Amino acid sequence: MSLTLHLDTAAWRDHLSSVASRTPGLVPVAKGNGYGFGLPRLAREATRLGVATLAVGVADEVATVRDDWSGDIVVLTPWASHDPVATELLDDPGVISTVGRLDDLRTIVREHPGARVVVEVRTSMQRFGLEPAELPRVADLLRELTFEGWTIHLPMVGPTLDEARRLATSALAVATGPVWLSHLSPRDYDTLNGELGVETRLRLGTKLWLGAPQTRRVTATVLDLHPVSRGDKVGYWQHRVLTDGWVVVVSGGTANGVAMTAPSAGATLRQRAQAVILGGVDATGRALSPYTLAGRKRFFVEPPHMQSSLVFLPGAGAVAIGDEVPVETRLTTVMVDRIIDSSDRPDSSDRPDSSDRPDSSNRPDQQTPEENR
C-alpha cells in the first residue's frame, strides 16, 4: 500500500454532470495517467455522462478505453506515418484521427480514402497543425475524406477568444464543419458557439476531471518512525540531522511520481535559513516534501526512494505507524495505488474500484496546486 486517493464519488459525479450540462458539445479528454484516475475509469464516467465522443491523447490509448467506451473516439496527437497503430486506426469506423500536416493529409487521401479526420489549425502554441496560410490547399483533399471538422488547441493565457475566432473563421471559409476547441472559458466558448454558425465541441480534461478539488484527497501511510538525535547520520546518503526529532518513513516514492522539489531559486537567504532551523536536514540537499505530518509539510531527509520516502519530523513526534497523512499531489504526475470511495451518500451503481469506506472526518485542508498538463 502506498498512495491512496480518497474520492467522494457521488460529489465528483455531481460536478462532472454539472460541467456536462452547461457544456454542450463536451468532449471529455482521457489521456496519459488518466488525470490520476486511470483511463478505464474516465471512460466509464464519460459513458455515464452520455457524451458522443471521447478524446484520447495518443493512438495506443484507444485500446485502453475500448472496453469501457462504445462511442466515437478522437485521437488528439496528429497522425504520423511512422505510427503503425495510428495508421491502423485510420480504417476504424469508430475513430476520428487528427491531421496536422498537409503532406499527411495527402498521404491519407491516397492510402486511406474516406478516413474520418479532423484537421488541426496551428495556434500561437506552435505545437501541431497546419499553418493558416496552408488552409486553402486542403479544400480538395477534404472531399476525399470523411471531414469531421477543424480543431484548434489554444494556449492557457492570452487573447484566446480572438485567436480562436480568427482561426475558426479562416478555416470555415475553406470548408464548413464542426469546430473543436480547448482552453476557452465557458463564456468565451458560448460566445464563439453563438457566432460561428456551425456545431462546436469543447475538449475538457483538467477542468472536468480535476475540478471540485474538495471531492478528493490523497494520503500516504506512516510505515515506520525512529527517534534520532542532533548529529546522527541517516538515510542512503548519511546526511546528519540538525536537531533532535524523528525520521518518519512514509509510503510513496519515485515510482508513484513523488518528486523532490529543489528549493526554489527565488528563495531568500532568510527563507533558506528558516528552512534549516525548522528541521531541514542538510543546508544544500534539503527540500520540502509533499507530506504533511503533525499539521505541516515536512522536509525530506533525502531524495525519495522507489516506494517510500524519509521525512524529518523535529521535536517530540506526533504521528504513529499506520497513520494516514495528507500528500499534496498533482494528480497528472502521480500514480496512486488505489482509489477508495469516500462518498457519504449511498450509491447503488457499480463501483469496481471501491473498497471499504474510510473515515472521511478529520479531512485536512489540502491545498491543491495548479495541475500540470
Q: Does 186 interact with ligand PLP (rule: CB under 6 A)?
A: no
Cell of 2: 502506498
Please give the Cα distance from 141 to 16 (Å, whole number). 38
Q: Does 351 interact with ligand PLP (rule: CB under 6 A)?
A: no
Strand, helix or coil for residue 372: coil
Please list the residues that pair with 181 across neighbouring strands.
152, 202
Q: Does 160 interact with ligand PLP (rule: CB under 6 A)?
A: no
Q: How many residues does the chain have?
A: 373
Q: Does 182 interact with ligand PLP (rule: CB under 6 A)?
A: yes
Q: How far is the CB of 78 from ligand PLP (least distance, A)?
A: 10
Q: Which is nearer to ligand PLP, 165 or 297 (CB)?
A: 165
Q: Does 203 interact with ligand PLP (rule: CB under 6 A)?
A: yes
DSSP string, 81-136: TT-HHHHHHTT-TTEEEEE--HHHHHHHHHHSTT-EEEEEE--TT-SSSB-GGGGG
Half-sphere exposure of 353 (CA within 13 A, CB side): 20
Cell of 147: 471531414
CB 287 within 8 A of CB 310: no
Compose the 27-66 pattern: x for residues touching ligand PLP by CB under 6 A, - for all others.
--x-x-----------------------------------
Q: Which is nearer to ligand PLP, 6 or 31 (CB)?
A: 31
Q: Which is nearer to ligand PLP, 66 or 373 (CB)?
A: 373
Using the rule CB under 6 A, which residue among 44, 153, 201, 217 binds ligand PLP? 153
Q: Does 205 interact with ligand PLP (rule: CB under 6 A)?
A: yes
Q: Does 206 interact with ligand PLP (rule: CB under 6 A)?
A: yes
# residues contacting ligand PLP (CB under 6 A): 11
Backbone dihedral region of 188: left (phi > 0), alpha (psi from -120 to 50 degrees) or beta? alpha
Q: Kindly give, in sequence order, each residue whose CB lies less than 8 Å from that of residue 217, ignoring residues fewer than 6 positions away.
A: 5, 6, 326, 363, 364, 366
Q: Does 204 interact with ligand PLP (rule: CB under 6 A)?
A: yes
Q: What distance lies between CA 179 and its chain's CA centroid?
A: 23
Please list the residues that pair with 308 across neighbouring strands.
251
Q: How far is the CB of 102 from ligand PLP (least distance, A)?
A: 19
Q: Which stretch binds ligand PLP (CB under 6 A): 81-89, 205-213, 259-267, 269-277?
A: 205-213
CB 192 within 8 A of CB 172: no
Q: How far is the CB of 367 from ligand PLP (least distance, A)?
A: 20
Q: How far is the CB of 373 from ligand PLP (least distance, A)?
A: 4
Q: How far is the CB of 111 from ligand PLP (least distance, A)?
A: 24
Residue indicated by cell numbers 487521401 = 109
Q: Under the rule (CB under 6 A), what is the footprint of ligand PLP?
A: 29, 31, 76, 153, 182, 203-207, 373
